[in-house]
Amino acid sequence: MADAKTTLIGKAAVLESMAEHPAVTALLGWNADALTDARFDRGELTLTIAKDQIRGACETLIAAGYNAFQDVTAVDWFPSTPRFRVVYHACSHRYKHVIRLTVLVDESDPTVDSITPVWPGANYYEREVFDLFGIRFEGHPNLRRIMMPDEWVGHPLRKDYPVEGYR
Amino acid sequence: MPTLPEVGTPILQAPTAEGSRDQHMVLNMGPQHPSTHGVLRLVLEIDGEIVVRMYPEIGYLHTGIEKTCEAKFYQQVVPLTDRVDYLGPMNNNLVYSLAVEKLLELEIPAKAQWLRVLLSELTRINSHLIWLGTHAMDIGALTVFLYTFREREDLLRIFEAVSGQRMMTSYIRIGGLSMEPPLGWLERVQNFISTFPEKIDEYSNLLTGNPIFVNRLKGIGHLSGPDALALGVTGPVMRASGIDFDVRRDMPYSSYEKFQFTVPVSNDCDVWARYVCRLEEMRQSVKICQQVLDGMPEGPIKANAPKILLPDREEMKTQMEALIHHFKIVTEGFPVPAGEVYQSIESGHGQVGYYIVSDGGPKPYRCHMRYPSFADLQALETMCKGRLLADVVAVIGSIDIVLGEIDR
């Protein structure tokens, strides 16, 4: 396995030297096509998952020993396309490391499958992303604003939302 | 322990108007309630005194802290992190600094790392003291509250001596510490450490054998281990549910791998177990502090990176380069190589994680904070469902909520 000093960019490079990493093994064993991109940088593994496969990927990883859910958040790469990256962190108590899953979401259709049915802990985090970025999570049991009032216009953590607000 | 009736069977048949006999009542607890420790509103659906459903309504604080971080230079974010969990400032400074140092791939001198461990443990004691005092006060034991604040005062004086601030310390900076601890400071810490275990015994004598306290805590707020993991609960609440995981031991940071300590775990899964675990954690923190004081290495407290760290005041007055670096860092910040990192540490409440994305500029492109209270709040309904209304107070106290952590 690659050590923390090396940087590996791209699916092929990561698969070549990190094939025995438990997360990579589990995802490849489940569905090799779901893994679209990968990166290993500063000792952290980032796996990009196809948008419609995220729930299955999470199920696979839970079964592979990534038992502690950490968080869901998003990054707004305005004005590039696809605009949003939804980022998931999962910790493994057995392997003692954290891995990162990302999903690319475009502004024209800002939806992604909710992982709350798989990981109940994602509930508030997905609501937070919905509230502050305006990304919808399909299948979420209670997708409502969590920080801002219900009638609030706009999503404050988007890059085109001014720091001082519109008012 | 009295056994409770099934959910839906009223304990008391209160005289009600015709037709409303089997309706549930909705009760708002908060937004300002002494036992919610901040602005938290709990919408409770109750049947008699039994909680049927609970809906936490949050966002009253809404500090907009992540948005603010994205508008500041990297070094200007450090004071902001103090405000998030205002009971554990050093831990927050530490996790943010570690994340940025990981992005910069900076090497931190051993003395700075050990001092960070010491401060982080003192902060944990500070945070647990507030928890113990307010939790006991929620239950009705006021004396312990006064006692814990007495010891907290000693700790705040120690923080003030080292950083100039009592609560919002901002002492741990990117690349090291802001300044050398003053002369005699380590002896003050040693004094505190030597006397503190007796104080823990004192609290324990007041509470552990107290039948009212025991009856209010035992068997309340049950959260099983698998539930805790599924809901993302971390820290003492998770360890009280039988999950043996501590970031300090299992994913060590800042030279924690050099220290010997045990991680208290309980299989009782209730409020009592959380009380026992936290009390033991304070004793373990004292043990770690003692090891730091015994083996403190010599050397600098800042990394050798003049373009990132502010120079010492004396250097600035005598060297032109130092003055230029100071000016550049303050006015323009310093660029951080593009990339993304996630750094987690064990704070007093649980696992704190900072996810920082850099686009190569002097400001964080995205700075996400994962704080334990936010996840613990999701578990509140699981813990309170089917229990008495009065138990809600005990359960909130046991998860040690800080509202600054919950609101973004």
Average pLDDT over residues B229-248: 90
Say yes or no: B357 contacts chain A, CB-CB below 8 A: yes
Average pLDDT over residues B112-122: 93
pLDDT band at A8; cut points 50, 70, 90: confident
Task: Report the predicted TM-score, pTM, of the whole model to 2 decimal places.
Answer: 0.91
**Per the CB < 8 Å rule, is A146 touching B58?**
yes
Q: Which residue of B has its CA nearest to A76?
A: B366
For residue A105, give every residue at least 6 positions away whose Cβ sits within 8 Å of its Cβ, in sequence order, or none.
A51, A74, A82, A83, A84, A85, A86, A111, A112, A135
Q: Is the pLDDT of residue B5 over 70?
A: no
**Per the CB < 8 Å rule, is A69 touching B232?**
yes
| Chain A CB contacts of B338 below 8 Å | none
In a 3-state reduction of DSSP, which class is residue B107? coil
Say yes or no: B201 contacts chain A, CB-CB below 8 A: no
Give burial (CB, 10 Å; 0-12/13-18/19+) of B277. buried
**Per the CB < 8 Å rule, is B229 touching A100?**
no
Closest CA to B89 of B40, B159, B13: B159
Q: How far, in Å, CA of A2 to CA of A21, rounded?
A: 10
Q: How far, in Å, CA of B221 to CA of B391, rounded?
A: 8
pLDDT at B342: 93
Q: How far, in Å, CA of A42 to CA of B236, rounded?
A: 29
Task: Say how many C-beta atoms besides its own lie within 10 A of residue A123's C-beta.
Answer: 24
Q: How far, in Å, CA of B152 to CA of B127, rounded?
A: 9
Q: Which of A96, A128, A148 sits opposite B251 (nearest CB)?
A: A96
Q: Which of B230, B365, B377 sits opposite A119 (nearest CB)?
A: B230
Spacing of C-alpha B269 from chain mean position: 20
pLDDT at A142: 86
Segment B178-198, tens digit of pLDDT: 889 999 999 999 999 999 999
Say yes or no: A160 contacts chain B, CB-CB below 8 A: no
In a 3-state reduction of DSSP, which class is residue A138? strand
What values do phi and psi take at B304, rounded to 5?
Answer: -85, 85
Chain A interface, mutation test: which of B39, B229, B370, most A Cβ atoms within 10 Å? B229
Q: Which of A91, A97, A157 sits opposite B66 (nearest CB)?
A: A157
pLDDT at B14: 47
| Chain B CB contacts of A162 below 8 Å | none
Segment A45-87, tens digit of pLDDT: 999 999 899 999 999 999 998 988 888 999 999 888 889 999 9
Structure tokens at A130: 């919905």
**Per the CB < 8 Å rule, is B230 touching A46?**
no
Say yes or no: B231 contacts chain A, CB-CB below 8 A: yes
B29 to each of A148, B39, B54, B390, how far by Cα in Å? 20, 10, 10, 11
Q: How far, in Å, CA of B255 to CA of B245, rounded?
A: 18
Q: ipTM strictly over 0.90?
A: yes
Closest CA to B100 of B404, B362, B299: B362
